[in-house]
Amino acid sequence: MSPSESQFKIECRRITHTFRTAKQQETLALKDVSLGVRDSEFLCLLGPSGCGKTTLLRIIAGLIQPDDGVILLDGQPSMGTSSDKGMVFQRDATFPWLTVEKNVEYGLKLRGMSQAERDPIVRKYIRMVSLEGFEKAYPKELSGGMRKRVDIGRTYAYNPKVLLMDEPFGSLDLFTKTRMQADLLDLWSKERKTVVFVTHDLEEAIFLADRVAVMSKRPGRIREIIQIDLPRPRHVDLKVSEAFGAIRRRLWEQFEDEFGVAQGAAEEGVS
């Protein structure tokens, strides 16, 4: 199949990458990884720390150049950063010297849009991430969850083709994290971006994803891709359903087989 005939929005073809230290020590992080992400799909990359999932996401984003392989976007090579790819990091990425509305409009301003063009877009996404009334607030005046909303709103406002998310809720408390998951799905349902979401939390992956790509231990590869056949829209009570539990058990089996750990031990290191 030629690049232009690709059936995927994003495609990783035979990605291999090795990290090298100043002393020339080498760590093979990824080996021969191939993965396709469909248009408007919500795909989660799932695995414990050190399996290469964040490395793969950064390669897709163009922040790291692989030793071998190619990333395709809409069937065309896309190896560097571009406005077509939006990234949301785990760490707080708000600009502390800018208000909420100035943070959200930042990318639009870089694009050269006029204030009159920017204003309705900024209002739209501030409303969609539930930050109305906080337009003039600075990040230091916001909670961690609210700052994450600013990050997501800014990325959506810039209107990338794909949204890449690296454990964005990993530093939040359980209650805030649960709310943010539900709010992200609500936003995604309204504007069906293609999303690749990195997580080590099994329940988060099942709750959010259309498909979950389970990664192996290092060097990372795609061990299995599991379809999440749960109805949408999804609500938090889905997590206690029998269907949700069945998928969770299937994912545990993958980790037990790959990493040789019992379920109790795996829960410490994976969820």
Instruction: Check: CB of residue 9 under 8 Å from CB of residue 38.
Output: yes
Q: Which amino acid is at 252?
A: W
Please determine, for residue 149, whether its predicted confidence score (pLDDT) is greater than 50: yes
Residue-wise pLDDT tens digits, 17-56: 999 877 778 899 999 999 999 999 999 999 888 889 999 9
The pLDDT of residue 269 is 40
Per-residue pLDDT band at 6 (split at 50, 70, 90): low
pLDDT of residue 265: 44
List the structure tokens of 19: 């990290």
**Whole-angstrom Cα distance, residue 225 to residue 215?**
9
pLDDT at 4 over 70: no
What is the average pLDDT score of the chain? 90
**Does residue 268 surpass a pLDDT of 50?**
no
Section 251-255 average pLDDT? 85
pLDDT in tens, 190-226: 989 999 999 999 999 999 999 999 999 889 999 999 9
Asked if the model's pLDDT at residue 1 lies above 90, the reply is no
Domains in the chain: ranges and CATH: 3-84+163-270 (3.40.50.300), 92-159 (no CATH)
Tell me what pLDDT residue 138 has: 97
Mean pLDDT score, 162-177 = 91
pLDDT-above-70 percentage for the chain: 93
What pLDDT does residue 191 have? Answer: 87
Report residue 7's pLDDT band, with 50, 70 and 90 as the boundaries.
Answer: confident
Could you tell me which of 169, 69, 172, 86 has the C-alpha nearest to residue 125?
A: 86
- Burial pattern 257-267, b for ≥16 Cβ within 10 A else e, equals ebbebeeeebe
pLDDT at 186 exceeding the cut of 60: yes
pLDDT tens, 93-142?
A: 899 999 999 999 999 998 899 999 999 999 999 998 999 999 999 999 99
State the pLDDT at residue 88: 94
The per-residue pLDDT for range 63-83, each reduced to its tens digit, is: 999 999 999 999 999 999 999
Give bridge partners of residue 80 from the DSSP assignment. Answer: none
Torsion-angle region of residue 167: left (phi > 0), alpha (psi -120 to 50) or beta?
Answer: left
Do residues 85 and 78 make contact, with C-beta atoms less than 8 angstroms apart? yes
pTM of the model: 0.90
